[in-house]
């Protein structure tokens, strides 16, 4: 079992991400896999947890340490992805400007996890780029590239206030569609 701790989008950012998901689908038939989760900015990629109950206790405490802050989108990216195994697919996301407040929240999260649970390695711990994914899986990479080629023509520089923390839970370590969801959300 795995978990991810994320900053959950406010209503405006959620609606913005959902509109982009639909636009990507209209241009590239990319599907709606990302609709399984609320729009979010991860503070850490999925990592193994000893128990959901212990992680929930940690999550509740960490949420009390944070305060709402702004997330600024500064561009759009498309990547090849096989996050769900099988054939290469794609991922489209809005790039997030890294700010001292965002970096500090990530650093405190990683330090807190290590203190409570020991090392909690996750993919991209050393090279993580903050982002908000709005389309993933569901089509071949060329479909994602086609959608990106259309969507990137617009300006995506926008700022939204994020006021919630989310605990994503993965019941299957391989992160198979249908085995994960947003387990809990707390105000920060």
Average pLDDT, the chain: 93
At 76-119, the pLDDT tens digits run: 999 988 765 656 889 999 999 999 999 999 999 999 999 999 99
Range of the domain at 75: 2-187
Helix intervals (H) in 51-183: 52-65, 100-117, 141-151
Number of domains in the chain: 1
Question: For the segment 159-178, what is each residue's pLDDT rounded down to a tens digit?
Answer: 999 999 999 999 877 777 77
- Asked if pLDDT for residue 180 goes beyond 90, the answer is no
Tell me the torsion sign for CA atoms 123, 128, 132, 136.
negative
Q: Could you give the CA distance from residue 105 to residue 26 in angstroms, rounded to a whole number?
A: 35
The CATH number of the domain holding residue 152 is 3.90.1140.10
pLDDT digits (tens, 9 = 90+) for 1-53: 999 999 999 999 999 999 999 999 999 999 998 898 999 999 999 999 999 99
Provide mean pLDDT across the span 178-188: 90
Confidence at residue 123, expressed as pLDDT on a 0 to 100 scale: 86
């Amino acid at each position: 079992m795995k978990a991810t701790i994320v900053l959950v989008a406010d209503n405006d950012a959620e609606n913005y991400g959902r509109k982009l998901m639909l636009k990507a689908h209209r241009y590239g038939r990319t599907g709606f896999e990302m609709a399984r989760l609320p729009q979010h900015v991860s503070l850490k990629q999925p990592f193994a947890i000893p128990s959901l109950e212990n992680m929930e206790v940690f999550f509740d405490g960490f949420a009390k340490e944070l305060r709402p802050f702004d997330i600024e989108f500064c561009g759009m990216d498309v990547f090849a992805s096989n996050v769900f195994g099988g054939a290469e697919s794609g991922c489209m996301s809005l790039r997030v400007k890294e700010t001292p407040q965002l970096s500090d929240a990530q650093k405190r999260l990683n330090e807190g996890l290590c203190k409570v649970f020991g090392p909690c390695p996750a993919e991209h711990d050393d090279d993580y780029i903050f982002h908000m994914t709005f389309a993933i899986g569901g089509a071949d990479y060329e479909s994602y590239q086609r959608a990106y080629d259309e969507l990137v023509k617009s300006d995506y520089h926008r700022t939204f206030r994020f006021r919630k923390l989310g605990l994503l839970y993965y019941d299957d370590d391989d992160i198979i569609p249908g085995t994960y969801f947003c387990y809990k959300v707390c105000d920060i």
